[in-house]
Amino acid sequence: MRVLVTGAAGFMGSHLVDSLVGSGHEVFGVDDMSGGFWRNINPKSNFTQLDLRDQARADSFISNTKPELLFHLAADATEGRSQFTPVNCVQRNLMAYLNVLVPCIREGLKKVVLVSSMSVYGDQRPPFSEEMPRSPVDVYGVSKASMEHITEILSAVHSFNYTIIRPHNVYGERQNIADPYRNVVGIFINALLNDRHFFIYGDGAQKRAFTNIADFTPYLLRAGFDPMTDREIINVGPREEVTINHLAEMVLKVFFPQGVRVELIPVHLPDRPREVKEAFCTTHKAERLLGYRTTVDLETGLHRMAGWARELGPQQPRYLVDGLELVTDQVPLVWRNAANKPALVGQAL
């Protein structure tokens, strides 16, 4: 199979490429390196640096490679920031996806596995099950919901298969811990590596379920090849939810089993706009169609990730404050303050 993975230098994409290469597939990877790392790229894959927002280049790349199977993971996944970068969010999610999907269909694509998000459920009452309607409440969720919906429509008209996977707070080795806008586990760990306290938005009673990368990649892979998953939407993630306060305690315990220094106690900030209070899902469908089961509990996973992050070392958080499209008093204070510290500000979006 000629397989294309977008976002191949990213966290989940690079783990997937490793598994595909290990299974003997001819693997092509693309990534524009906006959030990916060269160290993540599998040397046995055919990697091309490509910004999928560039329609002409995406088109010519697909004409040359003619993938039979597409795993689409490339994204700007900064959900909390998307209210302040709506143009960037739609371009990097919906438009970049169409720029790769459309030429793939033209070149005879057999199947796409779209990595979507639990954000499409919005603030409905959890646990989220796949029968619930799409009802996103933030810009990122809207972009993912549109990607899903357009996939269903194009599949019905143009006869290719698809599986939509909705992951749930995946964490683990290779995650971008320098991104201050997303990946709560990574943000907490990186703050402690930098000998700083981390922040918790709101009261910390928000509930989430966390998936170790080892409990995600095998199921994503399977979705590409198992016809049972054709034209299905599947949640992939554990049922066990924890509060952000509890997650914070667990991370602190990994670093400071004897008790945390007072200056590293987390600081609470006001809620971020549009952040849903509770987000976790049912797993029946993933169990039935993918054989899903949780094998790495959160405590074990946090120890593993902390061990990897310690080896990597503390990372400088990269705020993209110059790139915010809407700078209003709704922008979280930490992000606004970072604008006054040029050393922390990365390239514009």
Q: Is 327 in the site for ligand NAD (CB under 6 A)?
A: no
CB of 182 to ligand NAD, least distance (A): 8
Mode of pairing for the β-strands spanning 242-243 and 207-208: antiparallel
With binding defined as CB under 6 A, does residue 76 bind ligand NAD? yes
Structure tokens belonging to residue 260: 């945390």
Q: Which one of the spans 21-29, 51-59, 61-69, 261-269 is the region binding ligand NAD (CB under 6 A)?
A: 51-59
Q: Which of 170, 184, 279, 338 binds ligand NAD (CB under 6 A)?
A: 170
**34 is a site residue for ligand NAD (CB under 6 A):** yes
Which helix H or strand E contains 220, and what residues bound it? helix 217-225
Quick check: 141 binds ligand NAD (CB under 6 A)? no
Q: Under rule CB under 6 A, which residues in 77-116 are in contact with ligand NAD?
A: 77, 92, 96, 115
Q: Taking the complex as a whole, how short is the minimal distance between the CB of residue 189 and ligand NAD, in angstroms?
A: 14
Residue nearest to ligand NAD (CB): 10
CB of 144 to ligand NAD, least distance (A): 7
d(CA 328, CA 172): 33
Question: Which residues make Cβ contacts (< 8 Å) with residue 163, sequence separation at least 6?
Answer: 111, 112, 113, 114, 223, 224, 229, 230, 231, 232, 233, 234
| CA–CA distances in Å: residue 223 to residues 9, 219, 292, 316, 343 | 20, 6, 11, 36, 42
Q: Is residue 317 close enough to count as binding ligand NAD by CB under 6 A?
A: no
Spatial separation of the C-alpha atoms in residues 30 and 309, rounded to whole Å:
25
Q: Which of 5, 74, 242, 251 binds ligand NAD (CB under 6 A)?
A: 74
Give the total of residues touching ligand NAD (CB under 6 A): 29
55 binds ligand NAD (CB under 6 A): no
Does position 36 bind ligand NAD by CB under 6 A? yes
Q: Which two tokens stand for residue 304?
A: 């593993």
If one asks whether residue 234 binds ligand NAD (CB under 6 A), the answer comes out as: no
Q: Of 167 and 180, which has the nearer Cβ to ligand NAD?
A: 167
Toward ligand NAD, which CB reaches closer, 207 or 336? 207
Assigned token pair, 254: 């990994």
User: Rule CB under 6 A: is residue 247 a binding residue for ligand NAD?
Assistant: no
Sequence-distant (6+) residues with CB within 8 A of 284 are 129
State yes or no: residue 51 binds ligand NAD (CB under 6 A). Answer: yes
Q: Which is nearer to ligand NAD, 30 or 101 (CB)?
A: 30
Residues 304 and 107: their CA atoms lie apart, in Å, by 41
Shortest distance in whole angstroms from residue 237 CB to ligand NAD: 8
Show Cβ contacts of residue 25 under 8 Å, excluding neighbours closer than 6 positions: 1, 2, 3
> Is 31 one of the binding residues for ligand NAD (CB under 6 A)?
yes
- Contact call for residue 244 and ligand NAD (CB under 6 A): no
7 is a site residue for ligand NAD (CB under 6 A): yes
DSSP 29-69: EEE-SSS--GGG--TTSEEEE--TT-HHHHHHHHHHH--SE
Whole-number Å distance between alpha carbons of 77 and 308: 22
What are the tokens at 153?
């429509």
| 9 contacts ligand NAD (rule: CB under 6 A) | yes
Return the range that interacts with ligand NAD (CB under 6 A); candidates 2-10, 82-90, 241-249, 276-284. 2-10
Chain residues in the site for ligand NAD (CB under 6 A): 7, 9-13, 30-36, 51-53, 73-77, 92, 96, 115, 117, 167, 169-170, 176
